[in-house]
Amino acid sequence: GGIITQTPKFLIGQEGQKLTLKCQQNFNHDTMYWYRQDSGKGLRLIYYSITENDLQKGDLSEGYDASREKKSSFSLTVTSAQKNEMAVFLCASSTAIANSDYTFGSGTRLLVI
What residues line the site for another protein (CB under 8 A)? 4, 31, 35, 40-45, 48, 50, 58, 90, 92, 94, 96, 98-99, 101-107
Residue 9 CB, shortest distance to another protein, in Å, is 10
* 24 vs 94, beta carbon nearer another protein: 94
AA identity, residue 61: S
* 27 vs 102, beta carbon nearer another protein: 102
Residue 94 CB, shortest distance to another protein, in Å, is 7
* 80 vs 104, beta carbon nearer another protein: 104
Which residues, at least 6 apart from 82, have a Cβ–Cβ distance to it below 8 Å? 15, 63, 112
Strands 108-112 and 10-13: parallel
Residue 82 CB, shortest distance to another protein, in Å, is 21
Residue 80 CB, shortest distance to another protein, in Å, is 26
* 14 vs 56, beta carbon nearer another protein: 56
Neighbours of 74 (CB within 10 A): 28
Q: Where does residue 60 fall: left (phi above 0), alpha (psi -120 to 50 degrees), or beta otherwise? A: alpha
User: 112 and 86 in contact (C-beta within 8 Å)?
Assistant: yes
